[in-house]
Every structure is written in structure tokens, then in C-alpha cells.
Amino acid sequence: MRGGMQEWPLVTWRLLDHAARNHAERAIVGLAVEGGTHRTTWGAVAGRSRRLAAALAGLGVGRGDRVATLAWNTWRHVECLYGISGTGAVAHTVNPRLFDDQLTYIITDAADRVVLFDLSFVPLIERLAPRLPSVEHFVVLTDRTHMPTSTLDLLCYEDLVASGDADFAWVDLGEDEAAGLCYTSGTTGNPKGVLYSHRSTVLHALAATGVDVLALGARTRVLPVAPMFHVNAWSVPYAAAAAGSALVLNGPHFDAATLTRLIVDEGVDFAMAVPTVWLGVLQHLAATGGDLGGLNRVFIGGSAVPASMIEAFAGHGIAVSQLWGMTEMSPIGTIGAPTPEVAALPPDARLAMATKQGRAVFGVEMKIVGDDGGELPRDGVAFGRLLVRGPWIVDAYFEADAPATDADGWFDTGDVATIDARGYMGIVDRAKDVIKSGGEWISSIDLENTAVGCPGVREAAVIGVPHPKWDERPLLIVVAEPHVTRDDVIAHLVPRIARWWLPDDIVFVADLPHTATGKLLKTELRATYRDHLGG
Ligand code: AMP
């Protein structure tokens, strides 16, 4: 047979070239690390990314080399993603909230040759540099006037960009070459690297723009509070280029007052963040009586979303959609966009569906399996380990000898879930967080979500604690307003949960520990409260 389609490798710079040609004037607005608001456009960022690519090539960075960033969400960080991958190198977004030892491990494991970092991290880099033998150049993401004095020989990002050739030709890459690298934020063992290919990044970005996914278009003004160092800000720097959306970036600021102001002042209509960020914003609004301007959609992912949070946003006229995914999935797996059938349900039933994690987007296959590996029914009741496969899901970890999947290509997410007949997936728990009590399972997530529905309870964590009779029993640890008593919480829980799910004790604390990506740090809680029930 003759005839066919063109060979057009799916590489990241095509997304940027598209934005530059078709959306050049669209805004990229961001809070600068140096202070103030920086206004630029996709057209300008595209030009600077090309210069950066040229300058990196001039430093000797070549195909397959890893180049790290330790940076907040800024226009410069967007340039880094494209500039690095446009030279054929791999943009390794490092989470600066990790501990020194984890950072040293990750940068050394990745053998990063260059590190580009924000001014916020000068002390961190000075501390770590002697332990980073692979790194040849440290680049500060700032201009000449803000360059710090340092014991290290630091390069200035703006000088580097200015020195780059504006006509640099993007490196001619195959779509299966690596474009990005992100390490899992594993709470046990060493973090593992997930390599994103150009192809997986572009396919994922295209899927992300879809109406029932992120619904990005040229009229969207999106604020991805989710950091680029946490799975590429959930694809937004790539998907927004494909869609021509305006980007609003919060830089180093995560406090509720600043986020609220940014959303209102910059006309943000869509924002994405983990639940803890939204918790702060909702508390701020309740305390100040403020609003969120033209924001009409928020996407929440990274941890389960309680019904009370969805209702609180509804009170501000804002629709919540839940997003589930993971570092190993680029990250998007499911989205809670309602089907017509779900949209037609009575409010309570609709709310119950919104607390589920949603339906698989095209490109993600899912199934749940029992202990014997056999597939469980999609009836919304049976629960088992959630397995996934698709073109933007990890095949093997960075430099690993063994595949990360089983013989049929399924990747075990480590989550335990239900899937119903309509394809809605509901996370029951992380497999390691589920509480096994007297041979039955208790979902820590369900208990937490119910507990935060109690007026005055701000945040809740439930862990399984060793128990002499029942193996494990749930312990509820809460952050609450001072007037909330133990009896209040119990009175709230009793009518809403099975009797035997009732936590054996409730502990009131000032703060709960979180991981570097904003999840509850349950390993620490389990260690602290191991003996709490005399088990
Ligand atoms: P990470 O790789 O750090 O993004 O973590 C991925 C894990 O976060 C998943 O395997 C889930 O356990 C959890 N997670 C992400 N999104 C959600 C969600 N919407 N609801 C419940 N858990 C979530």
C-alpha cells in the first residue's frame, strides 16, 4: 500500500514553537523571586528558551545530559523546561523542599551536570555543592543586579540567556528520547527517577487540554500552584503552550493572602493545587470575608479531597474537580469531570461522586486486582490494588535493571481503589496506609474526610496503631479550632461511619507533618504514636 502520514516526532519544542507562532502575545505573568510582578508573553519566553538552549549547548551540555532545576514556578523555570529539553538534554526538576541528604542523593543519582536555581536556594546550594561531584556549573536564575556574592563560582542566568544565539536550531531529536526527569517523593527507601520522553510529554499535554480533562484554551488564565518540581506542575507548562492559555505563576509565594490577591488581580479563572493549599485559602476567605474574583474552577489532586472542601468552594460559586495521578504517570490518571448521568444526580449523590477520584482520561487504562492478581469487578464496591498502563506511565525507573511493570505492562500504583460501572475510580487508601483491624479493612482516607467535615476541624490524619486485640485500630489526629472537643468530633463521626470504624482515640495537635509534596507524613505519625494503644 502506498501513501501515509508524515513523520513528525512529538518533541517538546514543537509545543513552544506552536505557542510562539499562534499565541505570541498571550501573557505569562509571575511573582518574581526578586520581588514584584513580572509580565512577559509566550512569544518572549519562546525566544529566550531558544537562547538558553544555545547557551547550554555552549557550556557543553549535550544530548541525554541531565540538567537540574531547583526553582519555583516562574517564567524562567518554564524557559528552563523547554531550553534544556530543546538541546536534547533532560530537564530534571528537583524538589527543593527535600532534605539535604535526599537532594544530594537525587542530584548525584541523576548525575546532573548543571544546576539552575532560584535566589531562594543560594544557601542550600552553597551547603550542598561540595557533595555534588557531577555538577560542573551552578546558574542563578536572576539578573546581574541581583547576583549574590558567594564562595562558589556562580553563573548568571540572564547573562547566559543574553549570550545565546537567537537563531539556535532546536536539536533534531527522536520522540522517544528523554525530555524530563522527576524523582518520586517516596517516604520509604531512596527516591526513584521517572524519565519522561518527549513523546510521553507531548501526548500527555495534548490529553491534558481536553474539555473533560483540564479544559485549557486560549481564553483560559491558569494558575498552577502545583509546583513544576512536583511532576511538571501537572503538565500545565506544556499543555498551556499547546492550548495558548495565559499562565499566572505564584513564584515563591504559597500563603493564602498572596494567592488570593494574585487570583483576583490577574483574572485567574482556573487554578490547581493540593488540598493543603486550598485549605489555607478557604480559611483565609472565611476569616477575611474575601472572594476569589473570576476564579470558577479549581482542580485538586495529590491527596484525597474531602466533601467539606468541595462544598466550601461551591459556596464561592467555584466548581471542584478532583485529579488523581502520580509522578510515575506524568501525572494525570483520572479526572472527576461529571458525565451527563452524574450531572443529573441529586446534589448529595453528585457530591458523593465528586469525592471519588474520577474517570480515566484517554491514554490511561486501569484495573483493580485482588491478592491473587485476578481482576476484580467494576461494581464500585470491590476494592483492590489499582494497576495502570499507558503511553505516559513509567515502564522502568531511571537506570533500573528491572522493569517497573508486570509481564503484561501493568504498573502497580500502590493505591487501593474501587472502580464502578461508569468507570469512576475511588481511592480507598494507599496500600500501606490502610488499617487492618480484626481482619477487616478501614479506609484512613474516608475517616479523615469525614472528620474534617466536623465544624472547627481544620485537618485530620488517621493512622493504624498496633492494638493487642485487633491487630491495628484507627487513631485520629486532628488540628482544630480551640473550642472543638473530643465529644464534638465523636458526635460528628458516629452517625456517619460504621461503628467499628470509630477511632479508639483522638489526639489534638497544633500541626500535622507533611511530605515535600504536601501529603500527610504518615510514617512519622505512625512512629510517634506506635505505642499509643498499648499494642
Ligand atoms: P506523587 O507521585 O507524589 O504525585 O504521589 C502519588 C500518590 O498521591 C498517588 O499514588 C495517590 O496515593 C496520591 N494521590 C494523588 N492524587 C490523589 C487524589 N486525588 N486522591 C487521593 N490520593 C491521591
Ligand 1 closest atom vs CA 185: 3
Alpha helices, H only, 305-354 = 307-315, 340-343, 347-354
Question: Which of 387, 519, 523 to mutate for ligand 1's pocket (most ligand atoms within 8 Å of CB)?
Answer: 519
Spatial contact of 79 and 21, defined as CB atoms under 8 Å apart: no
Spatial contact of 172 and 185, defined as CB atoms under 8 Å apart: no
Q: Hey, whose CA ends up nearest to atom 20 of ligand 1? A: 304
Q: Give 396-404 contacts, CB < 8 A, sequence gap 24+.
A: 397/192, 397/193, 397/194, 398/109, 398/110, 398/181, 398/192, 398/193, 398/194, 398/195, 399/109, 399/193, 400/192, 404/328
Spatial contact of 143 and 48, defined as CB atoms under 8 Å apart: no
pLDDT at 198: 98
pLDDT at 501: 94
The catalytic residue among 436, 469, 485, 500 is 436
Question: Which of 97, 303, 433, 452 to mutate for ligand 1's pocket (most ligand atoms within 8 Å of CB)?
Answer: 303
The catalytic residue among 375, 399, 440, 441 is 441
Q: How many Å lie between the centroid of ligand 1 and the Cα of residue 334?
A: 11
Q: How many Å lie between the centroid of ligand 1 and the Cα of residue 301?
A: 7
Ligand 1 closest atom vs CA 322: 19
Neighbouring CB atoms inside 10 A of 381's CB total 9
Peptide bond into 331 cis (omega under 30): yes
Q: Hey, whose CA ends up nearest to atom 1 of ligand 1? A: 326
Q: Which residues line ligand 1 (CB under 6 A)?
A: 184-185, 231, 301-304, 322-324, 326-327, 331, 357, 413-415, 427, 430, 517
Distance set, CA 370 to CA 124, 373, 418, 442 (Å):
45, 5, 11, 17
List domains and CATH numbers for the chain: 12-253 (3.40.50.12780), 435-529 (3.30.300.30)
Spatial contact of 335 and 213, defined as CB atoms under 8 Å apart: yes
Characterize the bridge pairing of strands 457-467 and 505-508: unpaired
Residue written as cell 549547548? 57
Ligand 1 closest atom vs CA 427: 21
Question: Which of 188, 231, 324 to mutate for ligand 1's pocket (most ligand atoms within 8 Å of CB)?
Answer: 324
Does the annotation count 448 as an active-site position?
no
pTM: 0.95
Identify which of 226, 170, 132 has the alpha carbon closest to the alpha carbon of residue 50: 170
Residues in a beta bridge with 183: 193
Read off the C-alpha cell for 407.
Answer: 509481564
* Three-state SS letters, 6-27: CCCCCCHHHHHHHHHHHCCCCE
pLDDT at 113: 98
Sign for the pseudo-dihedral over CA of 92, 32, 226, 197: negative
Q: How many Å lie between the centroid of ligand 1 and the Cα of residue 123?
A: 31
Ligand 1 closest atom vs CA 184: 2
Q: How many Å lie between the centroid of ligand 1 and the Cα of residue 226?
A: 13
Q: Hey, whose CA ends up nearest to atom 4 of ligand 1? A: 326
Q: What is the pLDDT along the chain (535 residues), one digit of tens a residue?
A: 999 999 999 999 999 999 999 999 999 999 999 999 999 999 999 999 999 999 999 999 999 999 999 999 999 999 999 999 999 999 999 999 999 999 999 999 999 999 999 999 999 999 999 999 999 999 999 999 999 999 999 999 999 999 999 999 999 999 999 999 999 976 567 899 999 999 999 999 999 999 999 999 999 999 999 999 999 999 999 999 999 999 999 999 999 999 999 999 999 999 999 999 999 999 999 999 999 999 999 999 999 999 999 999 999 999 999 999 999 999 999 999 999 999 999 999 999 999 999 999 999 999 999 999 999 999 999 999 999 999 999 999 999 999 999 999 999 999 999 999 999 999 999 999 999 998 889 999 999 999 999 999 999 999 999 998 999 999 999 999 999 999 999 999 999 998 999 999 999 999 999 988 889 999 999 999 999 988 7
pLDDT at 440: 87
Q: Hey, whose CA ends up nearest to atom 9 of ligand 1? A: 326
pLDDT at 187: 59
Ligand 1 closest atom vs CA 328: 2
Q: Hey, whose CA ends up nearest to atom 15 of ligand 1? A: 302
Taking the chain, what is the end-to-end CA distance rounded to the nearest angstrom?
71
- What residues contact residue 473 under an 8 Å CB cut-off, 6+ apart? 435, 437, 464, 465, 467, 503, 504, 533, 535
Q: How many Å lie between the centroid of ligand 1 and the Cα of residue 436?
A: 21
Q: How many Å lie between the centroid of ligand 1 and the Cα of residue 245?
A: 26
Residue 231 and residue 380: Cα distance in Å, rounded? 29
Q: How many Å lie between the centroid of ligand 1 and the Cα of residue 325?
A: 6
Alpha helices, H only, 398-521 = 444-451, 486-493
Does the annotation count 440 as an active-site position?
no
Does the annotation count 72 as an active-site position?
no
Residue 43 and residue 133: Cα distance in Å, rounded? 37
The catalytic residue among 74, 87, 184, 355 is 184
Neighbouring CB atoms inside 10 A of 123's CB total 10
Q: How many Å lie between the centroid of ligand 1 and the Cα of residue 45?
A: 31
pLDDT at 392: 98
pLDDT at 186: 63
Does the annotation count 79 as an active-site position?
no
Task: Output the CA angle 494-528-463, nearest 5 degrees.
Answer: 35
- What residues contact residue 431 under an 8 Å CB cut-off, 6+ apart? 385, 414, 415, 416
DSSP state of 302: S
Residue 12 and residue 462: Cα distance in Å, rounded? 41
